[in-house]
Amino acid sequence: MEKIAIIGGGIAGASIARVLSKYENLEIHLIEREPDVSWGVTKANTGIIHPGHEEDPEKHSLRADFCVEGNELWHRWTEELDIPVEWPGELMIARREGELKTLEKYLELGKENGVPGLRIIDEEELRTLEPNVNSEAQSALYGPTAGRMEPWEAVIGLVENSVENGLITHLNTEVRDIGIKQEEIRGVQTGRGFIEADIIVNAAGLYADEVSKMAGIDHFDLQPRKGEYYLFDEDARPRVKRILHPVPTSKTKGVYATKTVGGNLMLGPTAEDLPMEAKGDNSTTEEGLNFVWKEAKNLVEELPKKEKVSKTFAGLRPEPPEGRYVIEAHEDPWGFVSVGGIRSPGLTAAPAIANYVVEELIEGELGVKLAENKDWNPKRKGIKRFSEVTMEERRKLIAQDPNYGNVVCMCKEVTRAEILEAIERAKKVGVSKPTLDSVKFRTLAMFGFCQGSFCRLKTAKILSEELDIPIWKVTIRGEGTKYGMGDVKILRSKKREKDEQSNEKK
């Protein structure tokens, strides 16, 4: 039995894990340094499933092929894994005469890539499809196959399904070195011990270049590229119906105006290249957010008031040399597979990348014989959301389990029953001590208007009870982020401020 270790619990690693879980003669390990899956690059992106007409097959053949194939696969995968998704279509907006000609260029690229349904639409049809489009918009390239989903929900679904099919997870486990003997892979040295492996798939996101260097492979470096975003309250108006973006530049697809599957208007991202040592910098800036606002105004006629912004955030993505994905199997050391630089359209391309890695690299180039598991189960059901069911269904749920009658998060109508289920699901995929973020990303509690101001304490109490730990040991996202300590600091700060004001009066 071949042992395969996947480094990285993001969208690429999780997709590869799922495809590998189809085979019965493999022992598959997923190694992630964060306490839970999807907390790296995957967590903070635009969540768009691109059609594939923006990838030049001459410059980026892998990106072009994987984007179109990945889009098609996501239609099946989201259904099999019960991942919330929408397919509203995408509009590349042209406001100037020169941009109209550029639309024709992308139309031809789309035809070459095999993108279905792609066409240029006139101003009248554009305003029918998107009433809130900028008044200067003259035309658009319409890609009807574009979709949107929450990327972390995709990863959670993939990992849950893979674990049911035999995947072994190692969370909160940092890779320290790669074990090599006689120019062949032997395993992974981690902060929690040595994990034996015949093959290593390096899907470590921003840190894939650093992991590769541990194996003696140093022909690529990954540039951290920051993207900043606005996220509005659900009731913020006006919104958009479709996914809107400008004509791309050589560097980026540009700022988007879209909605989350939960209905929140979202604007962004920027594309700021950071120094190599800034791979942990996910701060927002006044300059970046101002740029997003300005660019978004070129897409839509009217934006909601800034008072309706629920949060701003930033994500980092790994920019590879010349924008090319680094996907290859190595002979020295034998058994090391690189899956690096998975920048946009990485979310879209992930299922196709997974098939390629398994079929062309592991089975093809490395010669591993794969035996299909006839009992492999492609299905997974997500957590039933109380907010999305009818009143009759709600009554039945409460009759079956009274915890459904206890609404913990008022903004998102998340019940105690859903939170309890989220905790159990997190444990099943290897989260030793589920955190507030473990619950947040599985239920959407703390994602609403108040951003957890009212429900975070209630959720922390539930975690405290279920994990049998004091509430001050409940963490936001693992070691060093204790929720209770955060509250103590706030209270001390307020007391200090009050004392200073009192002294000033004296």
Could you give the residue numbers annotated as active site? 50
Give the whole-angstrom CA distance, residue 26 versus residue 369.
10
228 close to 285: Cβ distance less than 8 angstroms: yes
Residues 6+ apart with CB under 8 A from 247: 92, 93, 94, 99, 102, 103, 106, 254
Half-sphere exposure in the Cβ direction for 5 (13 Å, CA): 25
Supply φ then ψ for residue 418, to 5 degrees: -65, -40
425 close to 160: Cβ distance less than 8 angstroms: yes
For residue 338, give the nearest of 348, 347, 328 by alpha carbon.
328
Three-class DSSP category at 367: coil
- Give exposure, 225-261, as e/b (b: 16+ Cβ within 10 Å): bbbbbbbbbbebeebbebbbbbbeeeebbbbbbbbbe
Question: Cα torsion for 108, 114, 115, 117, to the nearest 10°?
Answer: 90
Kindly state the helix (H) or strand (E) to which residue 124 belongs, with its residue range: helix 123-129
CA angle, corner 227, sides to 224 and 229, nearest 5? 155
Number of H helices, E strands in the chain: 13, 23
Give the whole-angstrom CA distance, residue 307 versus residue 236.
9
Give the whole-angstrom CA distance, residue 121 versus residue 150.
28
Residues 6+ apart with CB under 8 A from 457: none
21 close to 167: Cβ distance less than 8 angstroms: yes
